Amino acid sequence: MQAPDDVSAGSKRCDAARNRARLLEAARHLVDDLGAEQMTMEAVAKEAGVGKGTLFRRFGDRDGLLRALLDEAEAEFHEAYASGPPPLGPGAPAADRLTAFGSTLISRMASDDDLGASLARQLRRRSRNASETGRAFHRHVSTLLREAGVDADHDMLAHAMLAFTTFETADHLRRECDVPTERLQATWAQLVRLVTRPD
Amino acid sequence: MQAPDDVSAGSKRCDAARNRARLLEAARHLVDDLGAEQMTMEAVAKEAGVGKGTLFRRFGDRDGLLRALLDEAEAEFHEAYASGPPPLGPGAPAADRLTAFGSTLISRMASDDDLGASLARQLRRRSRNASETGRAFHRHVSTLLREAGVDADHDMLAHAMLAFTTFETADHLRRECDVPTERLQATWAQLVRLVTRPD
């Protein structure tokens, strides 16, 4: 049986989640309208009708808020590769899932109207490894490498492979060297094939 | 037979090369003493006994000067992998040369008293792809992948593999996640083995 104190704590947690969602909604609205560079903590607080202190307490700083927004924008992609239909989701061989994952990741990065991609591009100075999204990508790829039976340090090999899909590499090649998205996707597929083929 | 004009042009080119070397020497001296962040164009001009205008004409801007300094610091490593003893230099199988190249690159990046590494770290916001050094690394790796008979888009696969050795990935893993340099080198070696083994 739940004590009255716990009910109250639970209800407070619900309030907190609602408030958090409302703050993120306000931030997303401003980013859509103005771009991430122009989003200030002051404008978000005003839009959400809260004090600036609330915003700083919840997200640390502006970067923390942008990262939270990015993690939220990535949730849909996470759903697709974690539990959606194959080959991205479960049910296909690990190598096919790896190929589908990288290919989707690269095409999302190349998309200009994907909030996750546009935020990630604007935040690219911060390492992807520092975000929950980046850690989830890494867990996913290293798990599939293990499933595919690759004889290697799966944890590190996943870092090595994902390095290709970062803005410093894939986005640089696409934007500065005019490499088409399809060639980047084909390279990922070749890398997966080379790494996962049996000895 | 060389016309007098050409002699004069040749001599001017020699002067230019000497002046360039003197400016780089002054810059290197300041970077050694103060760190790249503290190196100003004004201090370098003063150290070299030239006007600031000369420095800007020669290197474009402060970043251009730092990049030139980095390219120079990398020349010794370039010599080693292009024409030094095997397995880094010619004479060993392509896969062994690839392994040696990445392993040396990773250990140089991890070194705190390597000017090339320390400059590259300080300049890491600029993409390595934008420097002559980065382009030479890429040419070297793609050539060895071709020599090793890897069935892939060598140009792109070289970008994919080198992405692991960037500061955003290898240096981040070493510094933020306490991954030992040896594990990063072993991962590079595994990647080379997986990619170059015959079908």
Q: ipTM score here?
A: 0.77
pLDDT for residue B70? 81
Of A83 and B120, the one with more pLDDT: A83
pLDDT for residue A129? 59
Do A22 and A104 fall within a single domain?
no
- Residue B43 belongs to domain with CATH number: 1.10.10.60
The total number of structural domains in chain B stands at 2
**B139 touching A (Cβ < 8 Å):** no
Do A56 and A136 fall within a single domain?
no
Q: State the Cα–Cα distance between residues B160 and A136, nearest whole angstrom.
A: 20
Do A118 and A182 fall within a single domain?
yes
**A141 touching B (Cβ < 8 Å):** no
Task: Indicate whether B70 belongs to any domain.
Answer: no
- Distance (Å) from the alpha carbon of A160 to chain B's nearest alpha carbon: 5
Do B15 and B104 fall within a single domain?
no
Do B95 and B177 fall within a single domain?
yes
A39 burial (CB, 10 Å; 0-12 / 13-18 / 19+) is buried
Do A86 and A155 fall within a single domain?
yes
**A129 touching B (Cβ < 8 Å):** yes
**B126 touching A (Cβ < 8 Å):** no
pLDDT band at A39 (very low <50, low <70, confident <90, very high): confident
pLDDT band at B2 (very low <50, low <70, confident <90, very high): very low
Task: Indicate whether B41 belongs to any domain.
Answer: yes
Closest Cβ–Cβ partner in B127, B183, B195 for A194: B195
Residue-wise pLDDT tens digits, B19-39: 888 999 999 889 888 888 788
Q: Do B195 and A195 touch (CB under 8 A)?
A: yes
- Residue A63 belongs to domain with CATH number: 1.10.357.10
Do B124 and B189 fall within a single domain?
yes
Q: State the Cα–Cα distance between residues B74 and A177, nearest whole angstrom.
A: 23
User: Which chain A residues in 43-62 lie under 8 Å from chain B, judged by CB atoms?
Assistant: none
What does each C-alpha distance from A146 to A93, A150, B57, B66 come to in angstroms? 12, 6, 54, 42
* B chain contacts of residue A184, beta-carbon cutoff 8 Å: 156
**B173 touching A (Cβ < 8 Å):** yes
Q: Which residue among B26, B47, B65 closes a domain? A: B65
> For chain A, what is the mean pLDDT?
87
Would you say residue B1 has pLDDT above 60?
no
Do A87 and A30 fall within a single domain?
no
pLDDT band at A126 (very low <50, low <70, confident <90, very high): low
B91 burial (CB, 10 Å; 0-12 / 13-18 / 19+) is exposed
Give residue B45's domain range.
4-65
Q: Do A153 and B186 touch (CB under 8 A)?
A: yes
Tell me B38's DSSP state. G
Q: State the Cα–Cα distance between residues A54 and A32, nearest whole angstrom.
A: 22
Do B92 and B181 fall within a single domain?
yes
* B chain contacts of residue A157, beta-carbon cutoff 8 Å: 187, 190-191, 194
Do A114 and A53 fall within a single domain?
no
Do A113 and A32 fall within a single domain?
no
Do A44 and A97 fall within a single domain?
no
pLDDT for residue A22? 92
Lowest-confidence segment of A71-75, A191-195, B174-178 by average pLDDT: A71-75
Q: Do B179 and A199 touch (CB under 8 A)?
A: no
**B189 touching A (Cβ < 8 Å):** no
Task: Write down the H helix ranges in chain B.
Answer: 4-34, 41-48, 52-59, 62-73, 75-83, 94-110, 115-122, 132-147, 154-163, 172-176, 181-196
